[in-house]
Structure 1
């Protein structure tokens, strides 16, 4: 079952004006044996919440200002333009920043800078691939057999995984949740992208959703810590 190790989920209302986020609390254990850390739980919560933020309202109206929304108003639509426009230098810079964020960067909260997680597991998967290559070499496997196995891994696992996190919805939420969890780090890692995020959400004129320098992750982390303190069942899901 491909969903057996799922850590979080976002479910939107029919019109997209509200939704629910499901996630595992710190200490919960996945079927794979992996234990959920504090940064795992918080980042998963913000990742799933960001899906709702990025999609905007599905019914074509702004519930806060009563103004009609254009179809390109939401953050996912902005990201779609960035993915598909190969002529604009600024869009190319944003695209490169997000790819670098996904494949090469670690993220931590301002409250606990020592506990980190990678934005995506690309490096971990590549390391596993190289470990397999080394093991096959030590066992004396012919080079053509090793090369064929590495190509098979690329085709069956690495390329589909990259295609998944570089599709519009995932490409949109990764910079969002990183910005929410640690704005200062986000501005350092992706200056053009964070500038675009702020501009986009200011233009949406939603008074209940604004991006400031203070990370929302701090407030969410404190809330989750209070919930976890009284939680006895490690497997219970966090709902907000």
Structure 2
């Protein structure tokens, strides 16, 4: 990816992801015309052996569709597979001497689908995990849209967008010989600006049986997981650098 010319910000999802099936890409034996540009999506995940050991060399492919080729998991167990979305897709995981596994996934169009972890030696146990029916356990996301109201400061001509961590400043250049009157600057355009996702995990009350919380976040092919000891009023802030799993800049309102 680093050796190729970066796609333009206006490129379609397929145009940004087609490097996977091009020469020297991560996906082998695929036929370019077998992909629908309007439906193409990228499936990502990580494969393990014995629950915690990354497993490389696993062949990942769409079952009964050889035209879309296959990919091989890397030394850390990660895989990337370009497929046609828009419905249920049966994915096959193959490596000797492990038992072949097949899983069906609902794949949307033109997006990343991170399926989490795949265990080649997974053992199904009969241990029952009781459901937590507490209403307060539902995570809440604080809206960080740029369309929200913001606080102005007339003295310094800047505005702070509530919840977005963005400062916008206007500089007056009101000259008779210039066609524009103001220049607008935003901290969201700076190189190290991070989009902040604030997640409210628990409220003022939790069930006595709750021991641990598992938080997983998947954005543009990136995957993050964190565990928390059960407690009240848990809030977590996740910083997203506005880049997808392949370090391509993603321009969108979070």
- TM-score scaled by length of structure 1: 0.22
The structure carrying a bigger strand percent of its residues is 2
- TM-score scaled by length of structure 2: 0.22
Please say which structure displays the higher CA radius of gyration: 2
The structure carrying a bigger helix percent of its residues is 1
